[in-house]
Amino acid sequence: MRHPAADINGTLPTNRSLNTGIAPSCPGCGSIGISRIGSIPDAFEFAGRKLDTPLPGGSLYRCRVCTLHWRHPQPDKRELDALYRQGDAASWQYHPVRRQDWQIAMAIIRKNDGLHSVLDVGCFDGRFLDHLGTDYRRAGIEVHPRAAEHAASKGIQIVGRDFSDLETLPTPFDVVVAMDVIEHVGNPKEFLGSLAKATRPGGLIIVSTGNTAAWSWRLMRGMYWYCSIAEHLSFINPQWCKLISHELGLEITDLETFSHEPAKPSATFLQASANLFYRCLPNLAYGLRRFHALRKGLACRPSFRTPPHWRSARDHLLVAFRVPLRDGAHDLHCTDARVSLEVSRPAS
Ligand SMILES: [Zn+2]
């Protein structure tokens, strides 16, 4: 079904409503000690669907206290919901063997004894849980109705549609996974806290996402491919994971970096060279790409202004957090964390 805000062609209206606060503070810790990293290119598609008007990229910011990175401004929740409902389902489908994070997560789950129930937050069509196998009680949270139906047909219990459903699950799970999800939320710390509430004491939370500490990202700054994807709002790194796990009373048991799409050396070299070219001479890179397209009789796309995706870069991380065995530990640690961040916040 088309979203009510969409026109007859299924495109969204042009009067985009953006949260355009003047001086953004950190969405995670509230600090005003922030740095602007660079401009993010405008986006011409969202969730695999072409937009009638581009979404302004805004800027990439970094918190000097908790190291969280985020884009600002961001579409508001109403517009994000509308954009996601119109998303092309094919853009989220992957072959399990090609997903490095799925392989690492499965190895972590299988090597730990006593893990019997697994909740996949943002499970889409249940492909990860299906691949994990029927030795586990498998459940998912998924907002896309058709994808949730597919997951249910594979024997996966759908226990919620929205991240807010994490707060009201009747029984906690041994493992809660959220792979390529945390970058879609506005407040990753709050999200990680919700994942912890859905995990039993002694259980594991497994998160995978982009890594702002990767050298390729630090080189390309705001024009990096991962933050130019319009659905991606927030970005973390190992330092953030260590700080926030301490604040939430979680223990990091595994932290691995990997490439989203490993490629042959020749393709890796081409992606790296193209990105370096854009970094040093963006107008010349755009001009050459445009010239190349015109020579081949192809349309000149506005996305030529953006560097090509550098998917072979080792710019992703997967982190496994263990929830402590002590009852009530989360609340105590969260309270302590708020106090410590207040104290360490730089003066304005
Ligand atoms: Zn912060």
Higher-pLDDT residue of 80, 113 = 113
Could you tell me the two tokens for 119?
Answer: 């909740």
Report how far residue 161's alpha carbon sits from residue 301's, in angstroms, rounded to the nearest whole number.
Answer: 35
Distance 248 CA to ligand 1 centre (A): 14
- pLDDT tens for 275-289 read 998 888 888 888 888
Write phi, then psi, for 216 (nearest 5 degrees).
-65, -40
Distance 160 CA to ligand 1 centre (A): 29
Report how far residue 185's alpha carbon sits from residue 193's, in angstroms, rounded to the nearest whole number.
Answer: 13
Mean pLDDT of 148-159: 95
Distance 186 CA to ligand 1 centre (A): 12
Distance 244 CA to ligand 1 centre (A): 10
Distance 301 CA to ligand 1 centre (A): 36
Name 120's bridge partners.
140, 177
Is residue 331 over pLDDT 80?
no
Is residue 327 over pLDDT 60?
no
* pLDDT value, residue 205: 98
CATH topology of domain 96-216+250-262+313-334: Rossmann fold (3.40.50)
Distance 32 CA to ligand 1 centre (A): 8
Distance 63 CA to ligand 1 centre (A): 5
Could you tell me the two tokens for 175?
Answer: 């493992």
Distance 169 CA to ligand 1 centre (A): 28
* pLDDT value, residue 95: 61
Report how far residue 202's alpha carbon sits from residue 329's, in angstroms, rounded to the nearest whole number.
Answer: 12
Is residue 314 over pLDDT 90?
yes
Distance 328 CA to ligand 1 centre (A): 25
For the ranges 43-57, 173-187, 223-237, 330-344, the lowest mean pLDDT is seen at 330-344
- Residue extents of the structural domains in the chain: 96-216+250-262+313-334, 267-305
Helix axes 188-197, 329-344, angle to 10 degrees: 160
Distance 117 CA to ligand 1 centre (A): 33
Distance 23 CA to ligand 1 centre (A): 14
If phi over 0 gives left and psi between -120 and 50 gives alpha, with beta otherwise, what is residue 203?
Answer: beta
Mean pLDDT of 72-99: 73
Distance 236 CA to ligand 1 centre (A): 11
Distance 166 CA to ligand 1 centre (A): 23
Distance 97 CA to ligand 1 centre (A): 35
Q: Are 177 and 115 a contacting pair, CB within 8 Å?
A: no
Among 175, 191, 117, CA closest to 320: 175
Could you tell me the two tokens for 245?
Answer: 């796990």
Q: pTM here?
A: 0.82
* pLDDT value, residue 340: 34
- pLDDT tens for 289-310 read 888 888 888 877 777 888 888 8
